[in-house]
Structure 1
Amino acid sequence: MTTRATSAAAVPRAAHSLPPSGTADGATEAEVLEVYGLMWAEQIKAYRAASAGGTDLKRYTAPDVWTAFEADLARMDKERTVMRGDLRHEPEAIVPAGAQPPAATVKDCVDASNWQTLDTTTGWRIPPPPGQPARYAVTAKLERVNGERWTVTEYTPHRTRPCQGLSDN
């Protein structure tokens, strides 16, 4: 089963078939995509302010992922930049059945064509780095430890790897 969403908050679509053999059920995939989508919504809030203050980003991420986001936000604050516009994505969850602890991989294709970096001192747009395509691949790993909620344990944007859709991840 493939579940996709195209906004900051991943909202799973209805299943049209049974999950492939060896993978978890569609309800588990929906749970993974819900947490991934909630992390995304909080990440967008943080990047619009160059600060995680007032967000629940830390709630959805493991310490290493949280530290990476904090470092990126600190860099943005130091450089006096924020993000504006619309960031869209198409996540797909892959949840192998029987993994202990329960684990999942999310493959995502991010469309940043309407996502702009702004200099807060001038209000001017800063162009994206050379070689960064408008659509790029992201992978994330999530785990559910001790029966608690799913947590993003790895988050890797492949900003130089273009994607046309999920099949390219």
Structure 2
Amino acid sequence: MALSVTACSGPGSGSHDASPSPQTVEAAPSTGTRGSRIEAEKSALLDIYKRYWTEQVKAYGRASDRGTDLQKYATTQALSRALSDLQGLKASHRVLRGVPQHDAEVTSIGLDKKVPDAKVTDCLDVSDWRTVTSSGKTLPAPKGVLKRYVAVASAEKWGSRWMITKIDTHGRAC
């Protein structure tokens, strides 16, 4: 079973630590210098991105978004893609085990727009994310599929918080 990009990224912004708490992360207030505001917004966005992947890994590990906070961090195409992947996993009686890793950075941010937006570029490493059947059998990864590749997440700031809206892969190794 081939999953879309949502099955290919990890739970942290370059870190391999435990899952963060599901509390809401608010963006930084607009006080201070423009440079410090941009850095605070980038930090808030990377935190949301990390939480998005943490919740997605949790959901893919049980083939259900029940009991996760996936919808707190993703919307539109990113959420639809994840929910579609979950339907596929559930229908095929499979889950994903392991923890993919990534190295993410904010590569663009537009704060002076009516709806601020940003891009996060990530090098996803899915070599430790395995498909497991309901009988516990680990399935081999399809031949020729990249285990480390570039993905770009689009995000928008809705009110005082960032939301992941779209994930694109570019079919190139990183």
Are 1:118 and 2:132 matched, yes or no?
A: yes
Residue 156 of structure 1 aligns with which residue?
Answer: 168
**Unmatched tracts of structure 2, length 5 or more:** 1-12, 21-33
- State the distance in 2 between where 1:30 and 1:136 align: 23
Match for 1:5: what amino acid?
Answer: G
Pick aligned residue for 1:58 from 55, 64, 71: 71
Are 1:144 and 2:157 matched, yes or no?
A: yes
Match for 1:153: what amino acid?
Answer: T
Aligned length: 147
Contact 1:96 1:103 in 2 (8 A): yes
Residue 134 of structure 1 aligns with which residue?
Answer: 147
Match for 1:151: what amino acid?
Answer: M
- Aligned sequence identity (%): 33
Contact 1:45 1:55 in 2 (8 A): yes
RCO higher in 1 or 2 (8 Å CA, sep ≥ 6)? 2
RMSD: 2.3
**Unmatched tracts of structure 1, length 5 or more:** 11-20, 164-169
Query: What's the CA shift for 1:131?
Result: 2.1
Residue 87 of structure 1 aligns with which residue?
Answer: 100
Are 1:71 and 2:84 matched, yes or no?
A: yes
- State the distance in 2 between where 1:83 and 1:152 align: 21
TM-score normalised by structure 2 residue count: 0.76
| Equivalence map 1:9-88=2 (5 Å) | 25-88=38-101
Label 1:24 to 1:106 Cα distance change in 2 as closer, same or farther (>3 A): farther
Task: Give per-residue Cα distances to partners, 1:51-106, cap 9 Å, x unaligned.
Answer: 10100101111133222111110000111111111211111013235233111100
Label 1:143 to 1:23 Cα distance change in 2 as closer, same or farther (>3 A): farther
Match for 2:67: what amino acid?
Answer: G
Label 1:151 to 1:161 Cα distance change in 2 as closer, same or farther (>3 A): same
Task: Give per-residue Cα distances to partners, 1:102-132, cap 9 Å, x unaligned.
Answer: 1110000111111111111x31111222321
- State the distance in 2 between where 1:91 and 1:81 align: 28
- State the distance in 2 between where 1:143 and 1:46 align: 23
